[in-house]
Amino acid sequence: MAESKPKPKLKKEAVPIPKQDPKVRAKNFNEVALGYTEEQALEEASRCLQCVKPQCVTGCPVEVPIPEFIRLIRERKYAEAIAKIKTKNSLPAVCGRVCPQEEQCQAKCVVGKIGEPVSIGRLERFVADWEREHGFAIPEQAPPTGKKVAIVGAGPAGLTAAADLAKLGHKVVMFEALHVAGGVLVYGIPEFRLPKVIVQNEVDYIQKLGVELRLGYLVGRTNTIPELLKNGFDAVFIGSGAGLPQFLGIPGENLGGIYSANEFLIRVNLMKAYAFPDYDTPIRVGKHVVVIGGGNVAMDCARSALRLGAQVCLLYRRSREELPARKEEIENAEEEGIICKFLAAPTCFIGDEKGWVKAMECVQMELGPPDESGRRRPQPIKGSEFTMETDTVIIAIGRTPNPIIQRTTEGLAVSKWGTIITDENGKTSLEGVYAGGDIVTGEATVISAMGAGKRAAKAIHEYLMSKT
C-alpha cells in the first residue's frame, strides 16, 4: 500500500476533523474535536507534497520532521511515524491539540498556497493517539552520565527539557509545586480542549524515561535553587511559567464574583468545581458571565462558563481582527453560543449590598495608531460610557511571571518585567542554571516553551559534558 509519489490531482480542501455537535458539547466538558479515523488520516496524509525542501519544518519551534512522519502515516507505519515525531517532540498528543499550527507549520505549507494547508496538527494527534491505544515504545537512551539535573516546574518547558536530558543519560528530578504534573496543560487548558488523561499519558511517558517526579515541592520555598545546587544537582532548569494573574486595576475589582482567569480555570479544571459538591472546591457562576480579554485563555474561560450553564459575553477592547486567540477556538466558541462584544472595556465594577458584583461600567473604544506590539492601540471614545449587568466577571488579560524564584535566588538576573534573563540557549546569569518558557519570554504558547526547553536541554548537556 506504500505510495512513492503524491497523487497527481490535489484536493484543495483538508479533511475536516469530526467534532461534537455545538448544541451537545455546550453542555459537557468532553473533548470537542474527536480526531481523525484511520481512513481520514490516510486521506489527509495523501495531500502532503513531500517537498524536498520542506517549509513546514521551518515553521515548527521544535523542528518536527513533518514530511517524514506524514510519509510513514501513508505507509501505515504508525509506530514509526510517532517515533519519528518523538525524536524532536516529547508531547505530540498535546501539541497535536493545542499548537497554533495555522501560524506555524501549516502557515508555511506549500499546499496552503493553492488551497487549505495539510492538517499537520491533526495528523500528529492521530499518530499520538494511535500510540496511546497501542502502547508506548521507550526509545533507546544513552548510558548514564552520572550527572544530576533538577527541573523546576512540570509544564511544557520542563517536561520537554526533562525528556531530552533523560534520553541523554542524565539523572533528572522534576519538581512540581502542584499536586499533579503538567503545569498549564492541567490547571489552565480545559478538559474539552485537552483531556487530562492525554497530559497524564505524556507525563507517564516521561517518567518511563527515568525522570523522577516530586510533587507538592515549591522550589524557592521548599528548597531554593542555591540549595538544590549545593545538595548534589549539577544543573538546574527553571520552567516555572507565567502564573501570576494580572488584574485591571479599576475600582470594584475585589468584589465577590470577580475571578482571575487562573482562579476560574483552576477551580473548574484542576479542582473539578463543576462537580461540586461531589468535589470539594466550589465555584459560583451566575447567569450573566462577562469574560474580559481576547486570548486563548479568555476563550477557555468563556467556553467553560458556558458549560456551567451561563450566558456568556466576551468583552474585548480591540476589534475582531486583533483577537489573539486561535481562529479555530473563536469559531468553536461562537458556534457554542458565546457572544463577542468588541471595542469596549470596563471602567469600574458595581457591587450589591452583599459585596457581590451586579454591574460594570464600560466605555466604547476606537482603534488609534499601532502601539509597540504592532497592533492598533485602543482608545476610549468620550461620552460613550454604558452599563452592563453581570453577576460574574472573569478577567483574562494575561499572566505575569511568578516572582518566588527570582526573590529567593541571589544573583539571578531578572528583567524589569520580572522575567529571567537568559541567552538564546536559556543560560542565566548563574553558572549551571538555565531557564526557558514563559518565565523567560512572558506568556506565550505551549510549543514555544517546549522549544525553549529543548534548546536549554542541549545547552545543559553540553555544559555538563564539558565539566568533568
Partner 1 sequence: MPLTICGYDAAKGTVSFAFHEVGKTTKELGSMSPGDFIENVTGPLGNPSEIKRYGKVLCVGGSVMIAPALLQVKAMREAGNHVTTVIGARSKEFLMMEDEARELSNELYIATDDGSKGYKGLDFLHGLLKKEHFDRCVALGPVVMMKTVSEMTKPFGIPTTVTLTPIMIDGMGMCGVCRVTVGGKMLFGCVDGPEFDGHQVDFDQLIQRQRMLLPEERLSSLLWEMGGCQCGRKQA
Site for partner 1 (CB under 8 A): which residue of 22, 256, 380, 398?
Answer: 256
Q: Show contacts with partner 1 in window 179-208 (CB under 8 A).
A: 179, 187
Q: Which member of 134, 137, 138, 247 binds partner 1 (CB under 8 A)?
A: 247
Residues 389-423 as b or e (16 or more Cβ within 10 Å = b):
ebbbbbbbbbbbbbebbbebbeebebeeebbbebe
Cβ nearer to partner 1, comparing 143 with 277? 277
Q: Which of residues 275-294 bind partner 1 (CB under 8 A)?
A: 276-282, 284
433-435 vs 392-395, strand pairing mode: unpaired
Q: Which three cell numbers stand for residue 360?
A: 460594570
Contact assessment for residue 15 and residue 40, using Cβ atoms and an 8 Å cutoff: yes
The yes or no reply on residue 216 touching partner 1 (CB under 8 A) is yes
The DSSP secondary-structure symbol of 433 reads E
Nearer to partner 1, 79 or 244 (CB): 244
Distance CA 342, CA 228 (A): 48
* Residue 270 or 444 having the CB closest to partner 1: 270
Stretch in the footprint of partner 1 (CB under 8 A) among 64-72, 114-122, 259-267, 438-446: 259-267
Binder among 109, 174, 178, 394 for partner 1 (CB under 8 A): 178
Q: Cβ of 149: how many Cβ atoms within 10 Å?
A: 28
* Alpha carbons 195 and 200: distance in angstroms, whole number: 9
Give, as one character, the DSSP assignment of residue 112.
G
Rounded to whole angstroms, the Cα distance separating 285 from 117 reads: 40
DSSP structural state of residue 429: S
Count of residues engaged in binding partner 1, rule: CB under 8 A:
39
Report the alpha-carbon distance of residue 112 to residue 91 in Å, rounded.
25
Does 267 bind partner 1 (CB under 8 A)? Our answer is yes
The only residue of 23, 27, 134, 221 in contact with partner 1, by rule CB under 8 A: 221
Cβ nearer to partner 1, comparing 41 with 301: 301
Q: Segment 312-371, which members bind partner 1 (CB under 8 A)?
A: 355-356
Q: Which cell is 126 given?
A: 492521530
Joined grid coordinates for residue 1 = 500500500
If the CB atoms of residues 169 and 442 are measured against partner 1, the closer one turns out to be 442
Candidates 49, 51, 83, 244; binder of partner 1 (CB under 8 A) is 244
Binding partner 1 (rule: CB under 8 A), the pick from 30, 58, 222, 415 is 222
Angle at 58 between CA 53 and CA 59, to 5 degrees: 130
For residue 440, the one-letter residue type is V
What is the closest distance, in whole angstroms, from the C-beta atom of residue 183 to partner 1 in the complex?
10
Taking the C-alpha atoms of residue 139 and residue 129, their distance in angstroms, rounded to an integer, is: 18
Closer residue to partner 1 (CB): 394 or 457? 394
Minimum CB separation of residue 280 from partner 1 in Å reads: 3
Task: Tell the smallest beta-carbon distance from residue 281 to partner 1 (Å).
Answer: 5
The answer to the question of residue 250 lying near partner 1 (CB under 8 A) is: no
Report whether 148 contacts 233 (CB < 8 A): yes
SS3 content of the chain, % helix, strand, coil (to 5): 35, 20, 45
- From 40, 201, 402, 445, residue interacting with partner 1 (rule: CB under 8 A): 402
Residue 260 binds partner 1, judged by CB under 8 A: yes
169 Cβ neighbours under 8 A, 6+ residues apart: 141, 142, 143, 144, 145
| Among residues 243, 294, 346, 432, the one that binds partner 1 under rule CB under 8 A | 243
Give the largest Cα separation in the chain, rounded. 73
Is residue 404 a contact residue for partner 1 (CB under 8 A)?
A: yes
**272 is a site residue for partner 1 (CB under 8 A):** yes
Query: Could you say which of 102, 253, 328, 361 contacts partner 1 (CB under 8 A)?
Result: 253
Q: Which residues bind partner 1 (CB under 8 A)?
A: 177-179, 187, 215-218, 221-222, 243-245, 247, 249, 253-254, 256, 259-260, 262-263, 266-267, 271-272, 276-282, 284, 355-356, 402-404
